[in-house]
């Protein structure tokens, strides 16, 4: 008797991540994902109940993947710069996953205040006054402006509308931080 292949939740999530890396989030539907994985739709619906539930779990899985990537780069002594660089580098190295996490329906919608008040971003903002000799209010503005500049840069990188290397990313982020801190 042939050995039965088990498609548990973790296997499906890992294969879904691989699918997105290769084909992008916009190509993901139950039929094509199952063909890619090599299974029927039954394991997906058995483990997740629906494609919407799979996508909800996949978003968390991809965020964990992203967090592992950036935390190998982030230096809390130079938090604003390193987290910005890590974000843009992720767009360069993992463009389809970046687009899924930050440029698709999977990303969801947040206000500027929600972005600024997320725990990770609060930690970054709290590091700015000491490093750059700014007030709390100035630090919030600097973070906000660098964050959205870096997001725009990263979107262009992920979509391949600009071609840059790691050193160019470093230079762009260093320049925007230096320029903005002088006018805030």
Give residue-wise pLDDT tens across range 121-133.
Answer: 999 999 999 999 9
**Domain boundaries along the sequence of the chain:** 1-72, 74-184
Q: What confidence score (pLDDT) does residue 2 get?
A: 58
Residue 4 — very low, low, confident or very high, per pLDDT cuts 50/70/90? low
User: Burial, 49: exposed, middle or buried (Cβ in 10 Å; 0-12, 13-18, 19+)?
Assistant: exposed
The structure tokens 């440029």 sit at: 103
Q: What confidence score (pLDDT) does residue 184 get?
A: 86
- What are the pLDDT digits (tens) for 140-179? 999 999 999 999 999 999 999 999 999 999 999 999 999 9
Rounded CA gap, 38 and 105, in Å?
A: 26
Helix axes 136-158, 79-93, angle to 10 degrees: 10
Residue 120 has pLDDT above 90, yes or no: no
Rounded CA gap, 105 and 87, in Å?
A: 19
- What are the pLDDT digits (tens) for 27-75? 999 999 999 999 999 999 999 999 999 999 999 999 999 999 999 999 9
- What are the pLDDT digits (tens) for 68-116? 999 999 999 999 999 999 999 999 999 999 999 999 998 889 999 999 9
Q: What confidence score (pLDDT) does residue 1 get?
A: 55
Q: Which range among 6-10, 20-24, 108-112 has the greatest average pLDDT?
A: 20-24
So what's the architecture of 1-72 in CATH?
Answer: Orthogonal Bundle (1.10)
Q: What confidence score (pLDDT) does residue 74 get?
A: 96
Residue 5 has pLDDT above 80, yes or no: no
Sign of CA dihedral 79, 85, 90, 91: positive
């Amino acid at each position: 008797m042939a050995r039965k292949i088990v498609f548990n939740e973790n296997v499906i999530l890992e294969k879904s991540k691989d699918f997105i890396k290769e084909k992008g989030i916009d190509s993901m539907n139950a039929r094509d994902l199952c063909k890619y994985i090599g299974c029927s739709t039954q394991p997906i619906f058995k483990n997740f109940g629906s494609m919407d539930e799979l996508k909800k779990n996949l978003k968390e899985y991809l965020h964990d993947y992203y967090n592992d990537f950036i935390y190998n780069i982030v230096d809390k002594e130079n938090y604003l710069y390193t987290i910005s660089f890590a974000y843009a580098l992720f767009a360069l190295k993992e463009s389809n996953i970046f687009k899924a996490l930050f440029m698709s329906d999977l990303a969801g919608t947040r206000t500027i205040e929600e972005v600024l008040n997320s725990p990770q971003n609060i930690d970054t903002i709290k590091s700015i006054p000491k490093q750059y000799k700014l007030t709390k209010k100035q630090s919030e503005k600097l973070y906000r402006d660098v964050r959205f500049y870096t997001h725009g840069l990263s979107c262009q990188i992920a979509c391949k509308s600009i071609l840059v290397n790691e050193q160019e990313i470093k230079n762009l982020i260093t320049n925007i931080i230096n320029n903005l801190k002088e006018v805030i």
